[in-house]
Structure 1
Amino acid sequence: MALSKNRLIGRNAIMLLLSEDPNEQLQFLQQNKWRGCLGKVGSMEANKVVASIETAAKKNGIIQSDVYRESHALYHAIMEALHGVTRGQVQLGSVLRTVGLSFAVLRGNPYDHDQEGDWIAVALYGTIGAPVKGSEHETIGLGINHI
């Protein structure tokens, strides 16, 4: 049950998100049986961040919206990534913080054996800070969950 070194899902999600040419990176991952998508979201409300990522994942066929365990796995990966972005307190507008984030969602099997099944990773990168231009700083978060 070893992780395959060239198929680390978190690393690949971050590489996709930060890539100079994300479309080329996404095509490479898709050739290796991975499914992924990219997007952007900005908000003072965490629920809007979650909704934006879930919508992109469903629209791009990363998860099946009618299969609960897939939506559930994605939700937990998003929340884990948001914990990283918000330093453990998933609060935004209620404490006068706003985010401007790019995101990558990646699905695939990071293990050597197909029987291990798919996992999902959500990578977030952008800014967080007071809702005043120039009062933000960089942030990053990663969430990984099994499907």
Structure 2
Amino acid sequence: MSQNILIGKIAILLALLNENEREPYESQLQGVKYCQGKVGAMSLEKVITAVETAAKRHQVIHEDIYRETHSLYHAILEGLEGVSRGQLVIGDMKRTVGLRFAVVRGQPYKEKMEGEWLAVAFYGTIGAPIKGLEHETMGLGINHI
């Protein structure tokens, strides 16, 4: 591999784009596993579960290997810190989120011994649970497997 794969950049791009907008970027997706999804919730547990379920369903992680689920969990939490401005609370503060997300798995370093990493990106809205009173938000988390 002659250049690093920027898994965070790819995850952000995928979180921003819907499936119809993704086509021009397909060449950048070579060498990574990924999935995209959507979640709307007033519960962090629902957001975490939606991302974890998508990653397992699309075989971005192996559901029987604990370290992969553990890595994903930490990348999700880091991404959610960006979404929620460092306060990992939504429903208890009367906030709701509507998010698109992407999970990307790849080897971001030239040295193979550095192994695989996961990036989780979120893009969407956060705010009061009243339509029209939310604002845009984004978050990115990256963790080694």
Equivalences for 1:14-33 in 2 at 5 Å? 14-19=12-17, 21-23=21-23, 25=25, 27-30=26-29, 32-33=30-31
What does the per-residue CA deviation read over 1:101-134, in whole Å, with 9 as the maximum and x for residues that have no partner?
Answer: 0000000001112221100000000000000111
Output the amino acid matched with 1:66. D
Pairing 1:64-79 to 2, within 5 Å after superposition: 64-79=62-77
Structure 1 segment 43-122 matched on structure 2, within 5 A: 43-122=41-120
Alignment of 1:135-146 (within 5 A): 135-146=133-144
CA-CA distance at 1:28 after TM superposition:
2.8
How far 1:11 moved relative to its partner? 1.1
Matched residue of 2:119: which SS? strand
1:133 paired residue number: 131
CA displacement, residues 38-58 of structure 1 (integer Å, 9 cap, x when unaligned): 000000000000000000000
Q: Sequence identity of aligned pairs in percent?
A: 55
Is this contact kept in 2: 1:119–1:144, CA < 8 A?
A: yes
**In 2, distance between residues paired with 1:19 and 1:134?**
21
TM-aligned CA deviation for residue 17 of structure 1 = 1.9
2:9 is aligned, of 4, 8, 11, to: 11
Does the residue aligned with 1:125 lie in a helix, a strand or coil? Answer: strand
**C-alpha contact 1:38 1:102 (8 A) present in aligned 2:** yes
Output the TM-score relative to the length of structure 1.
Answer: 0.91
Q: Is the 8 A contact 1:29 1:35 kept in 2?
A: no
Structure 1 residue 15: Cα displacement: 1.6
> 3-state SS of the aligned residue for 1:36?
strand
Gaps of 5+ in 1: none
